[in-house]
């Protein structure tokens, strides 16, 4: 199954886009999508050391199952002062 992941900030700059696609098995968990992001998009590995993924606008736990129609977003740490 293909999952489209929205990305922001430095992750979007590194990927050259505001979204990426990952190919995963059926009924993937958030944890499996994070692993697929690291494997299929090496430029995003820096953003995946402590990833938070949101599913349909809400933070999701690692074991949350994602459907193909769900909106998935990678939420990275934001620095600044």
pTM summary value: 0.90
> What pLDDT does residue 60 have?
96
What percent of the chain stands above pLDDT 70? Answer: 95
Predicted confidence (pLDDT) at residue 81 exceeds the cutoff of 60: no
Q: Considering the domain boundaries, does residue 27 fall inside one? A: yes
The stretches of the chain forming alpha helices (DSSP H) are 9-15, 30-40
Q: Please say whether the beta carbons of 34 and 53 come within 8 A.
A: yes
> What pLDDT does residue 77 have?
72
Q: Considering the domain boundaries, does residue 81 fall inside one? A: no
What is the domain extent for residue 24?
2-75
Residue 26 sits in a domain whose CATH number is 3.10.20.30
Number of domains, the chain: 1
- DSSP three-state, residue 5: strand
Cβ contacts of 67 within 8 Å, gap of 6 or more = 27
pLDDT digits (tens, 9 = 90+) for 46-65: 999 887 999 999 999 999 99
Q: Considering the domain boundaries, does residue 60 fall inside one? A: yes
pLDDT digits (tens, 9 = 90+) for 17-46: 999 999 999 999 999 999 999 999 999 999
The Cα–Cα gap between 59 and 5 comes to: 14
Q: Token digits for 32? A: 């499996």
């Amino acid at each position: 199954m293909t999952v489209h992941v929205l990305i922001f900030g430095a992750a979007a700059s590194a990927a050259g886009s505001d979204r990426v696609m990952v190919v995963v098995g059926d009924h993937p968990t958030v944890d499996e999508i994070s692993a697929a992001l690291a494997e299929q998009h090496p430029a995003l590995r820096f953003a995946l050391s402590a990833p938070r993924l949101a599913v349909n606008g809400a933070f999701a736990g690692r074991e949350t199952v994602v459907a193909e129609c769900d909106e998935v977003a990678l939420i990275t740490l934001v620095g600044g002062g």
